[in-house]
Amino acid sequence: MTNSDTTRWLARPVDLDTDHVLGDENAEITLVEYGSYACPHCRAANEEIARLRDHLGDRIRYVFRHLPIAGSELAVRAAELAESTFSEQGFWRVHMKLMTRSTELTEEDIASVTGDLSLGGGDPRRIEDVENQARSRVEADVVSARASGVRFTPSFFINNRRYDGPWDLSSMSDAMLGRLGHRVQSAAIDFAGWGPSAGALLLVATVVALFISNSSIGPDFEGLLHTELGFLLGSLSFKMSVLHWINDALLTIFFLVVGLEIKREMTVGRLANVITAALPIAAAIGGMAFPALLYWIMIPAGPWAHGWGIPMATDTAFAVAIIVMM
């Protein structure tokens, strides 16, 4: 499965009538897991969750929701089997068997657990009703997983907020107890996931650079930019100034990414069609020609007459940042 950052919050709140919950319903910490019985990582996480519940005691309640691995019929059957019990005690008994009976979910696991259950008392019509209700509950969990931006298992939510860190006892308990290290990490992740973050950083860096360049430390900063950095390989050496590393090295990567984005748009994106590409292309040409023409009209002669290329040039980095922020 692939991950998506469409949301960082739990779309469907915990419902004691429909969710499977272990722990005090009034616990201060709620841990929701989207998992699959055919997922080996979920099996490993199951042990850590047991340790976590022992560690935090009544302070935590644990909720398990289904997200069977895509394309795995065995995973779907296991999830529906767990939902066929229709009792909390029965569900958790089947849940633990499916999670711990072997290192990898097999047909034998399904058969063994099925043999312990008496679905519908042997009545075919009753069995069909049980299976349909179980299927509906699993599908409801899958829908809520998609709505919450979940694309892989196991995925965890702590007090309705998605947790993206390691799922060992120490890391998860730090997150649940809101310790400083986790709060700083969460703030950094939130900022990085915020759409305009790159543009905001660029504008802040621009303001700081203008302030430094026009302050008393401007000459020292200029000297720093011309400091040479490089590496030695035997008798060979390669050096460039910090300024050239920025302009010739880092910007090369930037324009490579921009070029790949343009290529994607021109092959499978909105620029692949002549009709939809006409307006952006016209806007790009106009965005270069109009500033140059305006410059030529305002400064028709003199030593600055040949400077039309300056307003004509487009700073792609700033353009992209401003577009994202808008």
Whether 175 and 163 have beta carbons less than 8 Å apart is answered as: yes
| Tens digits of pLDDT across the chain (326 residues) | 434 444 688 999 999 889 999 999 899 999 999 999 999 999 889 999 999 999 888 999 999 999 999 889 999 999 999 998 878 898 999 999 999 888 889 899 898 888 877 654 455 566 778 888 999 999 999 999 999 999 899 999 999 989 988 888 888 888 888 756 556 666 666 666 666 777 778 888 888 988 988 899 888 888 888 898 888 888 888 888 998 888 888 888 888 888 888 888 888 877 788 888 888 888 888 888 888 888 888 887 777 888 888 887 767 667 767 776 66
> What's the pLDDT at 195?
63
> What's the pLDDT at 272?
80
Where do you find CATH 3.40.30.10 in the chain? 20-193
The type of residue at 250 is: L
Rounded Cα distance between 298 and 106, Å, is 78
Nearest one of 220, 191, 219, 189 to 204, comparing CA atoms = 191
The type of residue at 36 is: S
Classify strands 29-35 and 161-163 as parallel, antiparallel or unpaired. unpaired
> What's the pLDDT at 266?
83
pLDDT tens per residue across span 161-192:
899 888 888 888 888 887 565 566 666 666 66
Count CA atoms within 13 Å of residue 248 on its CB side: 7
pLDDT tens per residue across span 31-60:
999 999 999 999 889 999 999 999 888 999
Give CATH for domain 20-193.
Answer: 3.40.30.10
> What's the pLDDT at 201?
81
> What's the pLDDT at 180?
60
> What's the pLDDT at 143?
95
Rounded Cα distance between 157 and 8, Å, is 9
Rounded Cα distance between 116 and 103, Å, is 20
